[in-house]
Amino acid sequence: MTFTLEQAGRQAWEWLEAASRFTETHDVEREGVTRLCASREHRAVLDALTHWMSELGMSVRMDSAANLIGRYASADPSARTLLIGSHQDTVPSGGKYDGMMGVILPLALVKYLRENAIALPFHIDVVAFSDEEGTRFSSTLLGSKVLAGRFDPEMLEATDDQGVTLEAALQAFGCDPARIPEDRYRSEEVIAFLEAHIEQGPQLEQAGLPVGVVSAITGIERHRIEVQGMAGHAGTVPMALRRDALVGAAEVIRHVDALCKETDDLVGVVGKIENAPNGVNVIPQTATLSIELRSPDDDIRRHARRQLFERIDASLEALGLTYDHAQTYEQGAVPCSPGLIATLEAAVRESGIEPRVLFSGAGHDGLAMADLCEIGMLFVRCRAGISHHPSEAIEPEDLTVAVEVLAHACQRLADRQPSA
């Protein structure tokens, strides 16, 4: 071998460090990385990625939604394509690795394949999706929806905090939003979509494993509840006569927490709460809460929803409180392809590691890409499970393992391709 897996891992680390400099923040270690869709920082990281891709002999293009796509071409121009990638954008003051690691790792893979003259019977398209987080325009999964043919033109009307529309921002970035429908892939062209991503959780670290195989991307639902009581003087209304909305909210929080702890493959949170009139000596009249439930099994999640609201109904009625409820969001779970799970498990085992299969409690570009093709995901261990935070961290050696697993997976996919 003229270029080893260890060298590929080190190259990935160097590229990740370089990419982290393209950020709105001044001190990456303390303030993290902030890189938004169609921003100056987005342009800078695409310029760097274009340079690295070109050095690897890849053809490079930016599509009409600001996705960057580099192709490592097969010798057969009519070959199908394996898509590998992740997103370049971040949450405000996020980490170096969420998203970007999944762009850099396949580049390190391409370098390993190219330097060792390893030919594959399919193209590899490495994708840096323009916008997965939705931080600037609340346009979650913009990039992957475009490639999967799920793009809704109404998304172009979304505005950022300065009132700039997504359409105007893409135009200023050098894109032609009117041509977005032309950028979709056709299912017959594509073998699969693979994404490598930090786990964003502690399970791999606790198990002492550098990588894991994802079984499914979680389903998510969100609710808004307004608990209604009666305001009154905090010093004069007897406790037994109070209708305290905040006490009702506490019951809602308790039920969410208890239900999730007693139900396998279910997590949830009350993430927002507002209290009115919010006076130091006033009994709360209304309390408004958000509820979020997540599960890789939609049946589990929907059954939990029914249980939760039965418990809320009983508790609030006992307190003399009423409530209004609206479900504000629902995204079904997306299972990874059983064949790709098996392929990645075998690739992990071939790398000398016992495979661990776990579900993703976070959303990813695969939620959209599953409408185009089979999807598979490889998780990479992250320190203490911390993500969306400046202290997000990975081990450099784990990048070497991830490149090795991806290389084995590609070879297994190659062995299954029909002969020309």
The predicted pLDDT at position 376 comes to 98
Dump pLDDT digits (tens) for 223-255.
Answer: 999 999 999 999 999 999 999 999 999 999 999
Q: How far apart are CA 296 and CA 360, in angstroms?
A: 8
What are the residues whose beta carbons fall under 8 Å from the beta carbon of 400, sequence distance 6 or more? Answer: 5, 6, 8, 9, 10
Domains of the chain: which residue ranges? 5-217+333-415, 219-331
Q: What is the pTM of this model?
A: 0.88
The percentage of the chain sitting over the pLDDT mark of 90, rounded to a whole number, equals 96
Locate 48 and state its tokens. Answer: 């760097």
Cα 325 from Cα 309, distance rounded (Å): 10
In the predicted model, is pLDDT for residue 418 greater than 80? no
272-283 mean pLDDT: 97
What does the pLDDT average to over 93-108?
97
Token representation of residue 39: 């921003």
The residue-averaged pLDDT of 2-11 equals 96
Question: What's the per-residue H, E or C state across 155-223?
Answer: HHHCECCCCCEHHHHHHHCCCCHHHHHHHCCCHHHEEEEEEEEECCCCHHHHHCCCEEEEEEECEEEEE
Per-residue confidence (pLDDT) for residue 419, from 0 to 100: 60
Q: Taking the domain 5-217+333-415, which CATH number applies?
A: 3.40.630.10
**pLDDT (average), residues 25-40:** 96
Considering the chain, what percentage of its residues have pLDDT values greater than 70? 99
Q: Quick one: pLDDT band at residue 186, thresholds 50, 70, 90?
A: very high
Q: Note the pLDDT of residue 140.
A: 84
How far is 112 from 110, CA to CA, in rounded Å? Answer: 5
Q: How far apart are the first and last CA of the chain?
A: 28
Amino acid at the residue 276: A
For 208, residues 6+ apart whose C-beta sits below 8 A from its C-beta are none
Tokens of 358: 């776990």
d(CA 93, CA 242): 43
pLDDT surpassing 70 at residue 206: yes
Phi-psi region of 4 (alpha: psi -120 to 50; beta: other; left: phi over 0): beta
For 141, 332, 404, the CA distances from 260, given in Å and listed in that order, are 27, 18, 37
CATH number for the domain running over 219-331: 3.30.70.360
Q: What is the mean pLDDT of the chain?
A: 96
pLDDT at residue 180 is higher than 70: yes
pLDDT of residue 1: 61
Average pLDDT (39-54) is 98
Mean pLDDT of 306-323: 98
Task: Using DSSP bridges, classify how beta strands 211-217 and 123-129 pair: parallel, antiparallel or unpaired.
Answer: unpaired
User: CB count, 10 Å around CB of 140?
Assistant: 18
Give the mean model confidence (pLDDT) for residues 7-21: 98
